């Protein structure tokens, strides 16, 4: 690595408020490129087969070995529902049918939002796919509550329970201000 051949392009490093903007961004002093960094969107679903919940034991960090619902980062050029369906397929080989938006969670500390749907499995044929060690079906009382991967998994499962059988309800948030 020499100064003539910088081999680790870092992108813009100057902290500046672009014209017409009102907060600092990382900008390139030469070309003017502005590196807007945006909150990230997680899409997922509480998926059930009869009276059981589909859970996946994570095979990746963070929280490897802990249980979660199928969920992950939304990709470009997909809708939120398509993303949730894709995650179910990628993590558990599961085909699902979404029937309601369950939770709309803001997690400002990590600049993340989560859109969690309610879905039914189209078949109980699931299997541990990429990023998953093990999949399982759990009744409400069997859910491994102390081994769930994230607070939002708790929220989504509890919100599912709260609107069980209802068809037209407002999606849950974490509270009036999202906290």
Under the criterion CB under 8 A, does residue 9 sit at the interface with a copy of itself?
yes
- Compute the distance between CA of residue 69 and CA of residue 148 in angstroms, rounded to an integer: 9
Give the integer Cα–Cα distance in Å for 73 and 5: 34
Is residue 101 a contact point for a copy of itself (CB under 8 A)?
yes
Between 9 and 146, name the residue whose CB sits nearer to a copy of itself: 9
Told to check if 108 binds a copy of itself by CB under 8 A, we report yes
Positions in 117-146 near a copy of itself (CB under 8 A)? 130-131
152 is written with which tokens?
Answer: 């939002």
Instruction: Using DSSP bridges, classify how beta strands 34-35 and 25-27 pair: parallel, antiparallel or unpaired.
Output: antiparallel
Decide: is 82 part of the binding site for a copy of itself (CB under 8 A).
yes
- Using the structure block, give the residue that is written with the tokens 């599912």: 160
Q: What is the CA radius of gyration of the chain?
A: 20
Give me the residues that bind a copy of itself (CB under 8 A), please: 1, 3-4, 6-12, 20, 22-23, 28, 30-31, 33, 36-41, 60, 73-82, 90, 100-101, 104, 106, 108-109, 111, 113, 115, 130-131, 168-171, 173, 176-179
């Amino acid at each position: 690595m020499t100064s003539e051949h910088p081999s680790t392009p870092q992108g813009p490093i100057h902290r500046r408020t672009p014209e017409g903007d009102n907060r600092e961004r990382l900008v390139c002093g030469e070309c003017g490129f502005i590196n807007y960094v945006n909150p990230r969107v997680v899409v997922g679903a509480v998926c059930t087969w009869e009276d059981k919940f589909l859970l996946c034991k994570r095979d990746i960090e963070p929280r490897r070995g802990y249980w979660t619902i199928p969920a992950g980062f939304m990709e470009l050029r997909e809708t939120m529902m398509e993303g949730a369906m894709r995650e179910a397929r990628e993590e558990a080989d599961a085909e699902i049918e979404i029937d309601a938006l369950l939770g709309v969670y803001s997690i400002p500390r990590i600049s993340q939002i989560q859109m969690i749907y309610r879905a039914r499995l189209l078949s109980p044929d699931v299997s541990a796919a990429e990023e998953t060690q093990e999949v399982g079906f759990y009744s409400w009382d069997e859910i491994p509550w102390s081994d769930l991967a994230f607070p939002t998994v708790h929220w989504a499962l509890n919100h599912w329970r709260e609107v069980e059988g209802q068809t037209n309800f407002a999606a849950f948030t974490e509270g009036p201000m999202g906290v």
